Amino acid sequence: MAKFRVYFFIQYGRTVALRISRIMIKNWRNFRGSEVSDVSDVVYLLGPNASGKSNFLDVMRFLRDLGKSKGGGLQEAVESRGGISKIRCLHARQDTEVLIDVDVFDDDTSTGWNYTLGFNIPSKGFEKNRRPHITKEIVNRIENTGEKINLLKRPNMEDEQDEAQRQQTYLEQINTNKDFRFLAEYFGSITYYHLVPQLLKFGDEISGRTLEDDPFGQEFLLRVSATQERTRNNRLKKIEKALRSVVPQMEDLRFLKDGITGRPHLEIKFKHHRPRGARQREDQFSDGTLRLIALFWLLQETGDAPLLLEEPELSLNEEVVRQLSYLIETVRRRRSPSSGRQIFISTHSYALLSNPGINADGIIIIEPSDDGSRTRKINTAEQAALSVGLSPAEAVLPNTRGLPVGMQLKLEL
Ligand SMILES: Nc1ncnc2c1ncn2[C@@H]1O[C@H](COP(=O)(O)OP(=O)(O)OP(=O)(O)O)[C@@H](O)[C@H]1O
Ligand SMILES: [Mg+2]
């Protein structure tokens, strides 16, 4: 008989302390202008290929790049994306400023922060010689009465006296962010998960070249390695237990450092015809095993800054994906009250969205148009379908079709 499984979870109260509660962007990548309010604790970003899901996540990664403690800052954040011309929306008209405006809200105290950053290339000189400069930087504290208290408004006097100052945000500078350092640290701790198993498996070939703060591959192992031993073992034990149901031949999972190179590794012992079993290192794990290990690890990490999951369904068996939303929700709820992280998930997966208990407020649909993409929450028809018990896979996903109805995917030779 099939095992009993619970897919539903009751519509819930808030479980995070802090969340990015509003995101407004202008001229950001393929968004000419877009605003999402009441952003939930768990966000599902849906849309066809090339609609802008990754670009939307990149807003949060950009904030992370401004706030991160090592090598952060505006110039680096823009440069690492290939310059302002890559970031600025190709649909931009006369107004060419790139703008990000976000609210961070603390539901426990009903207070929050508002951070606005606008930047552009100065209008004098050749574009290729000119560095991005700040057109506005604003920090407001939002009181529980809703009143906004302004902590920073740029350009200010210092900017007028010294133009070069406009190349750096106050967020990235310790001597200027004293009143809102908390916000810089919060942004700086945003984590992006897009583990590419190949980058992890071929660690020796790409030795040392990791993408800082993006656990694409090797960075993930360094993250595990930098964790205190007790915490690390504790987390790995839990991963091992969870993984056993997916990879039944697995006996144990452990962390070790190579005796000669000192490099961190993960090792799994598999059941084998030989009595002592067979040991394998991460370069031999399957793609799905690696991705699950990384996902289970990140879900256990503490901290309250958002976790960005880029297509977590990749390489995973459909039944495992089907249960992911439930797993993510229960893990978040098990953590001590209000300490769960906000999670943004980009996905195409029917299975991932097949849980009717998914909080519909968390769904953001990205719709491409000739004038750039737009974001929207679920509409009344989708809401009606969800309220009679359909899942987002049934009620919403069909409206994000990647091909028009009746059109066949063809490759003409
Ligand atoms: N500055 C820009 N102006 C306009 N369009 C841009 C800009 N930068 C990137 N794009 C376009 O944005 C589109 C969306 O990219 P994105 O990677 O966010 O899509 P996605 O929804 O994640 O797609 P997939 O599901 O395939 O991963 C791409 O077609 C890209 O060409
Ligand atoms: Mg993408």
pLDDT tens-digit readout, 171-184 = 999 999 999 999 99
Verify whether ligand 1 is closer than 6 Å to residue 29 (CB atom). Answer: yes
Q: Whose C-alpha lies nearest to ligand 1, atom 19?
A: 50
Ligand nearest to the CA of 194: 2
Give the pLDDT score at 271: 84
Over 60: is that where the pLDDT of 11 sits? no
What would the mean pLDDT of 344-372 be, rounded to a whole number?
95
Verify whether ligand 1 is closer than 6 Å to residue 90 (CB atom). Answer: yes
User: Which residue is associated with the tokens 């020796």?
Assistant: 204
Over 80: is that where the pLDDT of 275 sits? no
Give the pLDDT score at 335: 63
Indicate the SS3 state at residue 56.
Answer: helix
Over 80: is that where the pLDDT of 119 sits? yes
How far is ligand 2, taken at its centre, from the CA of residue 47, in Å?
9
Q: Helix %, strand %, coil % for the chain, to 5?
A: 30, 25, 45
What would the mean pLDDT of 351-374 be, rounded to a whole number?
95
How far is ligand 1, taken at its centre, from the CA of residue 285, in Å?
31
What would the mean pLDDT of 289-312 be, rounded to a whole number?
91
User: Which residue is associated with the tokens 């006369």?
Assistant: 94
What is the distance between the alpha carbons of residues 186 and 181, in angstroms, rounded to a whole number? 8
Tell me the pLDDT of the chain averaged across its residues: 88
Q: Whose C-alpha lies nearest to ligand 1, atom 30?
A: 50
Q: What does the chain come to in residues?
A: 413
Task: Give the rounded percent of residues in the chain with a pLDDT score beyond 90.
Answer: 66
How far is ligand 2, taken at its centre, from the CA of residue 348, in Å?
9
Task: Give the rounded percent of residues in the chain with a pLDDT score beyond 70.
Answer: 90
How far is ligand 2, taken at its centre, from the CA of residue 210, in Å?
21
